[in-house]
Amino acid sequence: MERTIVSTESAPKAIGPYSQANTVGNMVFTSGQIPLDPQTMEIPTQDVQEQTKLVLENLKAVVEAAGSSMDNVIKVTVFIKNMDDFGKINEVYGEYFADNPPARSCVEVARLPKDVQVEMEAIALIK
């Protein structure tokens, strides 16, 4: 199977030597998305719920650029800076995955790129 690199201007450019996502067959594998504004490449807020929304919007843009949708996401990995924010992050997350939510892992980490509060990566099907 051939690998295809996914790139979209609707999500932040990679800030390192990686692709926004790759497709292999009917699968999309995204890189971790952080709350960067795609136009300014800045972190517009320190509020964890606003950061979570921007992360999910960036994830959505990458998944859609790959020919999939949030409805076809089958696995999400969530990295958070503070496990005390778990409930606040879940409130926003639930708005994007209300019906048939994907499998998920959530881990607290010591630090994330650009000192953000949350990062997410996903695996999705292309139908």
User: Can you tell me the mean pLDDT for 83-88?
Assistant: 98
**Which of the listed CATH numbers 3.30.1330.40, 2.60.40.10, 3.20.20.140, 3.60.10.10 matches domain 3-125?**
3.30.1330.40
Q: Considering the chain, what is the average pLDDT of its residues?
A: 97
Strand ranges inside the chain, DSSP E? 3-6, 21-24, 27-30, 73-80, 103-108, 118-125
pLDDT at 1 over 90: no
The per-residue pLDDT for 119 is 98
Which whole number is the average pLDDT over 117-123? 98
pLDDT tens digits along 64-80: 999 999 999 999 999 99
pLDDT exceeds 90 at position 26: yes
Tens of pLDDT, residue by residue over 50-62, are 999 999 999 999 9
pTM of the model: 0.96
Smallest CA-to-CA distance from 122 within 78, 83, 57, 66 is with 78
State the pLDDT at residue 63: 98
